[in-house]
Amino acid sequence: MLEARPAESERPDGRVDRRAAVPLLRRLRSAEGLADPSPVYDGLRALGDLVPAPWGGYLVTGYEACDQVLRGRTWLVPDFAWQERQTGTERWEAVATQEMSRTLSRLNAPEHTRQRRSLGSLFDRNTLRDMAPEIEADVTGLLDRLAERIRTDGEADFATVVGEQLPIGTVGRWLGIAPADYPHILTMTHNQVHAQELLPTKSQLAVSEQATMDLREYFTRLVRERRENDGDDVIAGWIRTWDGLESDREATDRMVYQLTMFVTIASLETTATLLSSLVWQLLQSPGRWEWLRERPEHIDEAIDEALRYDPPIRVNSRVAGEDTVLAGTFLPKDTMVHVMYGAANRDPRRNPDPHTFDPLRRGTHLTFGGGAHYCLGAGLARLEARALLGQLLERFPTLRAVSPPEHAPRMVFHRVTSLRVAA
């Protein structure tokens, strides 16, 4: 287990040196850290609830402190106004970063409030109820394909055959996207999120820039087609809503493009990782798969434990909207902090024995965020996971993992790239 040694991590005044977190963050991006981040989380928390980041700002590791940031009205996302007040703005001027800064996740009130209200109750109970039969049918078809791959090859990659395909099928049908375009959208999404890393490299930013331009071209064309057809689909409805809010039709189409792109990206990478991680965690411990198969009433609890144990987004950033105190430390206005979801969810003060995956834990987690930026698709992600796991347990009673999952070398958007299974 990694532990911070006071002689190396603390300065003479007792404060933690900014370099203390460097080896931990490097390990979190490594194959070893991606497979088992628990020593990293322990090491970060050993440095305190608020750890100076090597590049400036702070890493927030404790559950209560993270919860305070996520729910606090004076904590903001790093929008354009904040970016303009910074020095060394090269990262913020990147094309991909600029484009994402126009989307809902990077807006503060009042613009965030206006855009979110325009979406209405995006995935309310009635909407999810209407979507459920089609999601169940999608799951059936994907599991048919998984069974065929296992039958012919002896094993199959759950992540690519099922985990990635269910979310794109769900959001694609909801938005009226042609199934033939799904592979292209997945590739663009995988490449775009590089820009959302804490410290993206120049090569990552270049890949993300091209993906962002491709996404802009694709969804701008899609919005233009929906305007011309004026149908009853979701995107056409957004166009009519924003036509009533904006006098400039070009501004309306740009707004709808940004909403459509954001909802698509937010719906894919995160849910796909949840599905694969959930299956992996259930297959790791002998008897756990069979136990849950015999007790399907605990499926929802298993899903929440997977969200706690291995959050699809491991880090999120906020800035202080005013001078404040967090975890006993004074932070001036504009200070950036990074909410470490994984470390917070495994804070033993909130969830005892945090490194044990326990479907009966009934613990708490911050994976869907909090406050104004609470995840819009939380209910949909749970619905997809519930539909998948219910059928998977019934149809594959002897499912087993052939090898541990493989991960993309990223810190923020955790992605399972492969999970080989057999039955």
Q: What is the pLDDT of residue 13?
A: 39
Average pLDDT, stretch 306-320?
95
Least confident of 7-21, 235-249, 298-312: 7-21
Average pLDDT, stretch 300-324?
96
pLDDT of residue 1 exceeding 80: no
Instruction: Give pTM, 2 decimals.
Output: 0.91
Q: What is the pLDDT of residue 14?
A: 45
- Mean pLDDT (the chain) is 91
pLDDT of residue 6 exceeding 70: no
Spell out the SS3 assignment of the chain.
Answer: CCCCCHHHHECCCCCECHHHHHHHHHHHHCHHHHHCCHHHHHHHHHCCCEEECCCCCEEECCHHHHHHHHHCCCEECCCHHHHHCCCCCCCCCCHHHHHHCCCHHHCCCCHHHHHHHHHCCCCCHHHHHHHHHHHHHHHHHHHHHHHHHHHHHCCEEHHHHHHCHHHHHHHHHHHCCCHHHHHHHHHHHHHHHHHHCCCCCHHHHHHHHHHHHHHHHHHHHHHHHHHHHCCCCHHHHHHHHHHCCCCCHHHHHHHHHHHHHHHHHHHHHHHHHHHHHHHHHHHHCCCHHHHHHHCHHHHHHHHHHHHHHCCCECEEEEEECCCEEECCEEECCCCEEEEEHHHHHCCCCCCCCCCCCCCCCCCCCCCCCCHHHCCCCHHHHHHHHHHHHHHHHHHCCCCEECCCCEECCCCCECCEEECEEEC
Average pLDDT, stretch 105-112?
92
In percent, the amount of the chain with pLDDT more than 90 equals 74
Give pLDDT tens digits for 40-70.
999 999 999 999 998 889 999 999 999 999 9
Q: What is the pLDDT of residue 96?
A: 84
Average pLDDT, stretch 187-202?
87
Give pLDDT tens digits for 124-166.
999 999 999 999 999 999 999 999 999 999 999 999 999 999 9
